[in-house]
Amino acid sequence: MVTKPVIPFPDTVALDDVNSAAIIIDQTLLPGQLKLIALHEQRDIWEAIRQLKVRGAPAIGVMVAMGLYLAAKRLPEDDEAGFFEGLTAARDYLASSRPTAVNLFWVLDRMVGTANHHRGEPLAAIKRRLLMEARAIRDEDIAICEAIGLHGAALISEGDGVLTHCNAGRLAAVRYGTALAPLYKAHEAGKKFMVYADETRPLLQGARLTGYELLASGIDVTLLCDSMAASLMRKGVVRKVFVGCDRVAANGDACNKIGTLGLAILARHYGIPFYVCAPTPTVDMSLPSGEAIPIEERPGEEVTAMWYGTPMAPEGVKVYNPAFDVTPHRLITAFITQHGLIRPPFARGLARCCHRPVNP
């Protein structure tokens, strides 16, 4: 039985300009508690990103847009050189929070570019421009995700089983998300389908977040351990795979949550279409292939102890804990962008798509 929507969802990331704070859903508390927290200090924002209170490539991008604006807002308005030094320092600090999702760097560069473009204007005016830019980045995220949803929903047929990994839903963006946006749009259109969500070890974004938001939205979702995907595919239950991405190289190699590569290999083996939902700000045209994408390594305790009452691995054991992997472009059926589908050869299609305005 499909559960009815029960939870009104606030935006994942929002700006409270009056109180000079960013308001986020603290995702480390989910699924137990849907709690909004206010972040005032740069250190709070940095730690919220680092600790995955706010996570997912698009949400991280919007978060740092707001963070950099809030940093700029505090700078004195009578010293231009000091203002730009302060802005650069805040940019570098926020950029050090996580290395893989390119949205973070794209947004920071865009915000600093806006300030530089208006250098010479009164600093109060530059602050207003940064506020407008941060709001534009947020609004674009919503529009991009909705467009991805509409393009992706057309691929979902009545009765489909759709497998997804990690959380590329509304909790990973401001609203809708990327890989889950097609599911929301297909659901809104009245299509009946089943979603299979990998739990996504070690941080359980699939179990805690995808399970939570799909259930709350009344979408039929079944949770499975990552190691169960092959057997589900073999049964013929999975008709499509939809995943998000943190950085796509110019040739179409796509970096996403650890475990995505294994799914892509399985999908190819079983002849299942594998779609990567990609807003163009997640495409990094400066990198020729996925080899150059920096992969975050996270603390071993996330694997050995974090979700257990007592540690589930012997103390001192070495742990391999990369947060992401790279799926070679040959294993991807198509990218779903805000401008539509890109099918192979990806290099040409991505280049063309990235030259278009970001807004769909």
Where in the sequence numbering do the catalytic residues fall?
Answer: 246
Q: Which stretch binds ligand MRU (CB under 6 A): 3-11, 33-41, 54-62, 349-357?
A: 54-62
Question: Residue 167 or 251: which CB sits closer to ligand MRU?
Answer: 167
Q: How far is the CA of 352 from the CAs of 248, 255, 283, 303, 349, in angstroms?
A: 14, 20, 12, 40, 5
DSSP 38-60: EE-SHHHHHHHHHTTSS-SHHHH
Cα separation, 166 vs 342, in Å, equals 22
Sign of the CA dihedral running 63, 65, 66, 68: positive
Question: Residue 58 or 114: which CB sits closer to ligand MRU?
Answer: 58
Would you say how long the chain is, in residues? 360
Query: Among 350, 357, 119, which residue's Cα sits nearest to residue 247?
Result: 350
The minimum distance between CB 296 and ligand MRU, in angstroms, equals 8
Is 210 an interacting residue with respect to ligand MRU (CB under 6 A)? Answer: no
Q: Which stretch binds ligand MRU (CB under 6 A): 81-89, 167-175, 284-292, 351-359?
A: 167-175
Q: Which stretch binds ligand MRU (CB under 6 A): 17-25, 117-125, 169-177, 234-242?
A: 169-177
Contact positions with ligand MRU (CB under 6 A) in 308-347: 323
Count of Cβ atoms closer than 10 Å to residue 117 Cβ: 11
Is 172 an interacting residue with respect to ligand MRU (CB under 6 A)? Answer: yes
Q: In what order do the strands lie in the sheet with 283-284?
A: 283-284, 247-249, 254-257, 324-327
Question: Residue 42 or 321: which CB sits closer to ligand MRU?
Answer: 321
Question: Residue 112 or 148: which CB sits closer to ligand MRU?
Answer: 148
Question: Binder to ligand MRU among 173, 232, 264, 358 (CB under 6 A)?
Answer: 173
For residue 207, is it left (φ>0), alpha (ψ between -120 and 50) or beta? alpha
Q: Number of residues in contact with ligand MRU, rule: CB under 6 A?
A: 19
Given the rule CB under 6 A, which residues bind ligand MRU? Answer: 52, 55-58, 101, 166, 168, 172-173, 177-178, 205, 244-246, 256-257, 323
